[in-house]
Structure formats: C-alpha cells, structure tokens
C-alpha cells in the first residue's frame, strides 16, 4: 500500500500512508475502519465522506451524469461486463437451478442493474448513498416494460454509503462493485469486504470493476476518490482474505480515460489435490508452495539433479507469478 502517488493538485506522495495521514488523519492507513465513518481521523474522515457525497449530489441523475460526461462509455462497459460475468456464473454455479440474487454496490441510477444484472439475476438489491440517484433507479426499474418483473426484478433500495452498509447474511450469489470503491480509504475498504463476505451464498463471489492507475495511486481532490494500481488492489484483496478467481481488462473505452479492470474474487481457499481448474492463491502462498516443491525435489541430492530441479522451479515460479500478478 506504500507505493508512490499524486493528487489532482499535482502534489506528490512517497507512499500511500503519507497521503492518508494528510487526508484522513492518524489511524487511517494500515488499520481497519469500523464502518461508521468515525475510525481513525474523526472529523477529517467525516469531512472526506461529506465532500464525496456532496459532489455526487450535485450530479444529474442520468447516464451521462453518472459516467462523468462520457455517456458513450455505457455500451462498451456493459458489453465487457457481460462477457466477463456470463462464464463466471457457469463456472461457479454450473447447471444448478438456483434463484440468483445480486447486490449492486454504488448503483447510481441503476444503470448496471438495468443493463446487465437483471438479465441473469432473479432479484437485485441496490445500495447507493446519493438519494436522488436511488430514487431515479427506483422509478426507472419499476416502470420497465421490457423485463419480466415477476422473475427478474429490483427488490431493495438501500440509501446507505458502503462504509456503513452490512449486507444480509447469506443472501447474495454475486456482489457487484463498480466505480465506487475508490470513495473508501483503505481501512474502510478492508472493513467493508470483511463484512460483505458474510453476505455471500456458498460459491458466491464478488466482481470489482474499477479504474486502474499505472502505478501507485492518483487522488482526485474534486470528489475525494482514489484510483489505485493493480498491485495496490491486490494487496488490499489479500488483506480482505479474498482470492482472485479471474481478471479481465475492459476494452473499447476512450484513450484519455483510465484503464479499467475487472476482478472476480472468491472467499474459498484453493482445493487440495489435482484439478483442471486453476488453484488460485495469494502470491505469498504461491511462493511457499514453490519452496516446498524445491525442497522436496532436491532431497534426491546430486549436482545434476539439483540443476534440473532449479530449472523446473524457475519455470513453475514464472508461471505462478504470471497467473497471480
């Protein structure tokens, strides 16, 4: 989490903890928030969230508004999400006849729910802190004439910020988090996911779809949001006790925008034994496995055998790092 970064005013930071200390106050970096906006930092933390919600309360409740003036992004975004989600549902749930329920976090006006989630899920709950966005979503989704509202419907509309939200235990097959987790400092990020894990059904998973910084982080002072690098996200996921199941880069967005990446995250530990399904582990566990393998194979002794073993180890380590990083 200590990669260098900068803010939209051009100020540079040697590490993320330095930035969080300035923005939120003591206790905001490297710990875990309490989900009440009143963790380390007190008033500064509350001010951080107030500024963020004030920004979005001033944004028009439209596709163009929630996409920052880039309404053209909607179509490729939905297409990319669909290509990512559909095989995941098959991989995780197979041919089970399952009543599927999703949670749309930072749902805005219900854009993702309407254009993607209601295609696959029988019920979708929405959580959004900006009340005018949520009301627009409620009106739009309750009046849609092109969906079967008896079998695919938006059910609950929660007007709550993510740092204060706790999902109902065991309700969701998928928790979808897109273009909103940057509003949370690192400790509240970790705290949210630890609470949200209890909201998943068996075999359920998270999808996180977010902007990606090339390295370190970029802090937007206008709306108090942070764009994290891929490595930054992976370090946070590891703190949350989550495993990366699959990733995919979003294609077809305007070049001037940040890159966007999708992560499917699971809570189940890798299975023991041989399997055609890749075994997904945090990077440090992969290292431990490699060293175990090396020690085992080197037990035969001999210079020639050691040479061959080390080369095998090198190839396997390279493969693991490519799949993990």
pLDDT at site 1: 66
> pLDDT tens-digit profile of 169-203?
999 999 999 999 999 999 999 999 999 999 999 99
Could you tell me which residue, 286 or 65, shows the higher pLDDT?
65
Picking from 6, 10, 37, 31, the residue whose alpha carbon sits closest to that of residue 19 is 6
Q: β-pairing, 217-220 with 12-13?
A: unpaired
Instruction: Answer whether residue 289 shows pLDDT above 60.
Output: no
**Long-range contact set of residues 286-293: C-beta below 8 Å, sequence gap at least 24:** 286/320, 286/321, 286/324, 287/317, 289/320, 290/316, 290/317, 290/320
Of 83-87, 153-157, 206-210, 266-270, the range with the lowest mean pLDDT is 266-270
How buried is residue 133: exposed, middle or buried, by Cβ count under 10 Å (0-12/13-18/19+)? buried
Of 9-18, 75-84, 194-203, 281-290, the range with the lowest mean pLDDT is 281-290
Cα–Cα distance, 210 to 227 (Å, whole number): 8
Cα–Cα distance, 254 to 294 (Å, whole number): 46
Of 61-65, 88-92, 290-294, the range with the lowest mean pLDDT is 290-294
DSSP strands (E only) in the chain: 5-7, 12-13, 101-105, 123-127, 153-158, 172-178, 200-212, 217-220, 225-228, 243-249, 259-266
The token duo for 149 is 């509202």
* Domain covering 5-266 assigned CATH 3.40.50.300 in the classification: no
Residue 285: band (very low, low, confident or very high) from pLDDT cuts 50, 70, 90: very low
> pLDDT tens-digit profile of 75-94?
999 999 999 999 999 999 99
Domain boundaries defined on the chain: 5-266, 283-324
Mean pLDDT along residues 245-265 = 98
Cα–Cα distance, 66 to 53 (Å, whole number): 13
pLDDT at site 53: 98
Mean pLDDT along residues 226-251 = 98
The token duo for 325 is 């990083």
pLDDT at site 269: 74
Mean pLDDT along residues 219-238 = 98
Residue 147: band (very low, low, confident or very high) from pLDDT cuts 50, 70, 90: low
Instruction: Answer whether residue 303 shows pLDDT above 60.
Output: no
Could you tell me which residue, 214 or 290, shows the higher pLDDT?
214
Could you tell me which residue, 3 or 98, shows the higher pLDDT?
98
% of residues, the chain, pLDDT over 70: 75
Instruction: Answer whether residue 322 shows pLDDT above 70.
Output: no
pLDDT at site 272: 46
Average pLDDT of the chain to the nearest whole number:
84
pTM of the prediction?
0.81
pLDDT at site 42: 85
Picking from 216, 278, 283, 209, the residue whose alpha carbon sits closest to that of residue 248 is 209
pLDDT at site 142: 86
pLDDT at site 32: 53
- Rounded to a whole number of angstroms, the distance between the first and last alpha carbons of the chain is 15
Q: What is the DSSP string of 83-121?
A: HHHHHHHHHHHTT-----EEEEET-TTTHHIIIIIHHH-
Mean pLDDT along residues 54-82 = 98
Ramachandran assignment for 27, one of left (phi > 0), alpha (psi -120 to 50 degrees), beta (any other):
left
Mean pLDDT along residues 8-17 = 97
The token duo for 309 is 């073993």
Residues 212, 261: contact at Cβ < 8 Å? Answer: yes
């Amino acid at each position: 989490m200590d990669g260098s970064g900068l803010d939209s005013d051009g100020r540079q930071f040697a590490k993320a903890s330095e930035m969080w200390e300035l923005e939120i106050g003591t206790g905001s970096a490297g710990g875990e928030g309490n989900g009440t906006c009143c963790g380390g930092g007190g008033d500064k933390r509350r001010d951080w969230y107030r500024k963020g919600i004030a920004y979005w309360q001033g944004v028009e409740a439209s596709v163009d508004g929630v996409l920052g003036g880039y309404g053209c992004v909607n179509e490729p975004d939905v297409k990319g999400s669909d290509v990512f989600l559909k095989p995941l549902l098959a991989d995780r749930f197979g041919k089970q006849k399952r009543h599927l329920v999703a949670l749309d976090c930072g749902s805005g006006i219900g854009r993702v729910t309407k254009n993607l989630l209601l295609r696959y899920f029988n019920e979708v709950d929405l959580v959004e802190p900006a009340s005018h966005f949520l009301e627009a979503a409620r009106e739009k989704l309750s009046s849609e004439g092109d969906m079967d509202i008896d079998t695919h419907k938006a059910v609950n509309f929660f007007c709550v910020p993510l740092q204060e939200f706790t999902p109902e235990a065991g309700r969701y097959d998928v928790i979808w988090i897109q273009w909103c987790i940057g509003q949370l400092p690192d400790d509240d990020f970790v705290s949210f996911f630890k609470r949200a894990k209890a909201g998943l059904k068996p075999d359920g998973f998270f999808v996180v779809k977010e902007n990606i910084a090339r390295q370190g982080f970029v802090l937007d002072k206008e709306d108090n949001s942070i764009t994290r690098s891929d490595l930054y996200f992976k370090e946070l996921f590891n703190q949350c006790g989550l495993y990366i199941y699959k990733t995919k880069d979003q294609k077809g967005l305007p070049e001037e925008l940040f890159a966007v990446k999708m992560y499917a995250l699971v809570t189940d530990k890798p299975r023991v034994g041989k399997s055609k399904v890749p075994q997904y582990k945090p990077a440090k566990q992969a290292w431990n496995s490699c060293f175990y393998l090396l020690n085992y194979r080197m037990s035969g002794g001999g210079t020639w055998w050691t040479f061959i073993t080390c080369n095998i180890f090198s190839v396997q380590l390279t493969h693991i790092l490519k799949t993990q990083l």
